[in-house]
Structure 1
């Protein structure tokens, strides 16, 4: 006599491999979908035009590494959008005079209202040095000047380092970005994809740090006596 459990056992054993196969297929598909949706969300944050901030702030920070960031920051300072300007990520051998010569019309502002940070070598250390500067000055709000493709990651790092400071983005749009769609230029396409990967890594690190898990220690966190990596006078790897 065949029992009920015996009748079901062949079907149950045949269904098990199918469930396993579906799981094997579903996991990569879900991962791909998450990456694609995340990339779309990242692209939605990238501005295509430069828009002046809606209101002034206590200070302005320029994260070096892209064309016209410093000049745009100086223009905001000259227009009264901040009391002082920090240029973060300046090469240690650069002087105020060398940098001011690149913005001839505003050299007077460098003498009174501009500070240089020569310690930062990455977006993460930009955030650390900016936090120190902001707290020393007693500022409560900050305009952030960096390239449009770099802005999402910069805001992640800066907001994590300074949750008590109001951040106002000012995205600098480069000439190549204006001249043609980013997906039609190979170099710009690779830049956007690379920045998306860095943005995801920054978000993951910040979330883990909020849970008390400190991962991905980087060269930017090395002691100040360590030699910096070589780079152009006012550029960093952003």
Structure 2
């Protein structure tokens, strides 16, 4: 019985330690994302998140409000909205984002839709193509604070001259922040093993 209790205790300590690690890492990513400071650039690139029809989820709405603020303050003169249509979505994230921005006063002609991507690497690779087509040289990457460090790393890997602006995440995004911890670790490990790996 003593051995069993020792095993259970060790397992409990390990679980608590793992949870504490995840919490610290997630908070560190949030902190890094919020500390990023954008500089005036040609275009803002808003990375997609779930949308319920044309109703952006809270994380996506936060990203869009951040993009609006940057546009209104003159940090960017155009916006790329990047996100495809997931299996549980009825419209593409890009289309939903563009509608939100237009309804909030951004001219339709300065918004460019990227509707093919399904992950961060595709978001930025396809957005880079739009930048090249339109002659945009510099970008501000706009996404949730905990996602921004990895998004900027991918952007720089793709040769995009970019700064970032992290939309403040809420307590309700805890699970998304924890998932980002695993995605960030996987990105680091895969990049070390294979420089051409795509995320």
Name the TM-score class by shorter chain. Answer: 0.5 to 0.7
- Map of 2:193 onto structure 1: 208
Structure 2 CA distance for aligned equivalents of residues 140 and 169 of structure 1: 15
How many residue pairs were aligned? 168
What is the CA distance between 1:74 and its match in structure 2? 2.7
Determine which of 60, 63, 66 is the counterpart of 1:67: 60
Structure 2 CA distance for aligned equivalents of residues 48 and 205 of structure 1: 21
What is the CA distance between 1:208 and its match in structure 2? 2.8
- Map of 2:166 onto structure 1: 171
Going from structure 1 to structure 2, the CA distance change for 1:128 and 1:100 (only over 3 Å counts) comes to: closer
- Of structures 1 and 2, the larger Rg is shown by 1
Structure 1 CA distance for aligned equivalents of residues 138 and 174 of structure 2: 33
Retained in 2: the 8 A contact 1:39–1:196? no
What is the CA distance between 1:116 and its match in structure 2? 0.5
3-state SS, counterpart of residue 136 of structure 1: helix
Q: What's the Cα RMSD here?
A: 3.6
Larger mean CA deviation between 69-78 and 191-200 belongs to 69-78
Instruction: Provide, for residues 98-121 of structure 1, a one-character-per-residue CA deviation record: whole Å limited to 9, x for no partner.
Output: 6454342314x2x22100000011
What is the CA distance between 1:94 and its match in structure 2? 4.6
Retained in 2: the 8 A contact 1:59–1:141? yes
- Alignment gaps of 5+ in structure 1: 1-31, 178-186, 219-238
Q: Which portions of structure 1, spanning 4 or more consecutive aligned residues, are displaced by more than 4 angstroms? A: 38-42, 48-54, 92-101
Instruction: Provide, for residues 63-99 of structure 1, a one-character-per-residue CA deviation record: whole Å limited to 9, x for no partner.
Output: 0112321232133123211121100004394598864
- Alignment gaps of 5+ in structure 2: 1-16, 50-58
**TM-score w.r.t. length of structure 1:** 0.58
Determine which of 56, 69, 76 is the counterpart of 2:40: 56
Going from structure 1 to structure 2, the CA distance change for 1:51 and 1:112 (only over 3 Å counts) comes to: farther
